Amino acid sequence: MSNRIRLRRTRASGAIGVTLALSLVTAGVLTPATGAVGQLFGNTEMPTLAPLIEEVGPAVVNISVSGSVAVRNPLAQDPFFRRFLPPDGRREFESTGSGVIVDAAEGYILTNHHVVENADKITITLIDNRSLEASVVGSDAGSDIAVLRVDPDGLTEMRLGDSERVRVGDFVLAIGNPFGLRHTVTSGIVSGLGRTGINPEGYEDFIQTDASINPGNSGGALVNLNGELVGINSAILSGTGSNIGIGFAIPINMARSVMEQIIAFGSIRRGLLGVGIAAVTPEIAEAYSLESASGALITLVTDNSAAEKAGLAIGDVIVSVNSEAVEDATSLRNAIGLLRPGDKVSVGFIREGKAQTIVATLDELDAPGSLQRLAEVDPVFDGAELVTNDARRTNFNGVAGLLVVQVEPGSPADMRGLRAGDVVTHINRQRITAVAEATDIVQSARTIILQVQRGGRSLLILMR
């Protein structure tokens, strides 16, 4: 049997231990909430979460989806097999998920993008067994959020909480439709915050929970003990497809921001700063004389971008956006990507050891990958031939430095992005005019960051 652990989205989530809950109340650790949940700690014979669930449960809906997806048979590309195989076509599918009514007056429902992706027909089933046809107001793959709309007749909405106030250890409930079991409630705690790497191509800042989440819970509610929606359940980490105690929810503050844009514009318009970025590792922090390994290192500034117009430069380390700390490259990507084109943002950064602040007016992101990240890899110059500028090469491309004469295809240097004709002007911020100088720096440094001039543009390349 394989022990491989895989990430699974939960398209087709607790009861809190009573003894534990009571002991926490007795110890004064958990303060009784107001509203329906307050009855849990009242003069009842048996503590229960039933009043809370009865309050918020009607806002959670079952989503049934049918549609079709394109299907290609790779063997059909071979002339021999093509004679025996059917042509490429479409495959019909049906799936289930969950959603949360967040605006009863307008009929708006929050769910996951992957729940309704490729849907031709969407049916919503309420807790009273009414079925309604739903339309897609808009859907965003980057955040995995979609907004649906139904006839707003007799609906119950769930109050939105503030995910910035969520703490590790908070009790939460997951409500959804796992394996088609409608309105299933599970409980647990918040196990972690700010989880990334779950959807590397998207915008992520996941809440981790051990409340049981399974296939069919996608798009369902993560609820705190005040009956407030704090997250949209989205994915699980599992080797079997079932819950192993590691589930992920999209913070409601992020979901709300996406929802507001979808309702206003029908789609997401993302802001663009126009920089390539890399995470600040401890080695980079040492090389740049930073106090801590946090922030996002600018490795590239796009021509005529918001960053260039505002005065940002490669080698700057962005540490805040609108006074909110930037912990790493992912948090910068989230902060900018969830703002709108034309927004003015205050960007705090460190340059040459000095903290500075500028205001930039964001452009519009019109293509994926405009905000770049680079990973660390060894070795340094394998596969690249560099020569010292002499009289014949001085001012090659108008810049003095080390000329990259050739790069072996597929070599580490090629994989890191060096190109023939590049001129290396600095290594770890030190000006370089001779190969011997480069050798001395490389041999004694744990981190190698090249500043390269290419076609009139300067950029940073992380070599080690």
Ranges of H-type helices in 288-411: 306-310, 329-337
Q: Cis link prior to 379 (omega < 30° from 0)?
A: yes
Phi, psi of 51, rounded to the nearest 5 degrees: -60, -40
Distance CA 144, CA 199 (A): 9
CA torsion, ordered 237, 240, 242, 247, to nearest 10 deg? 0
Q: By the 8 A CB rule, do 183 and 206 touch?
A: no
Query: What's the CA gap between 341 and 321, in Å, rounded?
Result: 15
Q: Do 299 and 393 form a contact (C-beta atoms < 8 A)?
A: no
58: left (phi over 0), alpha (psi -120 to 50) or beta: alpha
Please, what is the Cα angle at 221 between 216 and 222, to 5 degrees?
Answer: 115
With residue 250 as reference, give the H or E element that holds it.
strand 247-251
Q: Residue 249 and residue 67: Cα distance in Å, rounded?
A: 25
Question: Can you list the positions of beta strands (E) in 75-204?
Answer: 89-103, 108-111, 119-125, 131-140, 145-149, 159-160, 171-176, 184-195
Contact 375, 349 (CB under 8 A): no
Cβ neighbours, 10 Å, residue 230: 26
**Calpha distance 223→102 (Å, rounded):** 13
Query: What is the Cα–Cα distance from 281 to 297, expressed in whole angstroms?
Result: 10
How far is residue 421 CA from its own chain's centroid? 36
Q: Which residues are catalytically annotated?
A: 114, 144, 218
- The residues pairing with 125 across neighbouring beta strands, listed in sequence order, are 62, 131
Half-sphere exposure of 93 (CA within 13 A, CB side): 16
Contact by Cβ (8 Å): 63, 99: yes
The secondary structure element, H or E, covering residue 355 is: strand 354-361
In whole angstroms, give the CA distance from residue 113 to residue 143.
8
Beta bridge partners of 6: 238
Of residues 411, 206, 451, 199, the one with CA closest to residue 316:
451
Question: Beta partners for 171?
Answer: 189
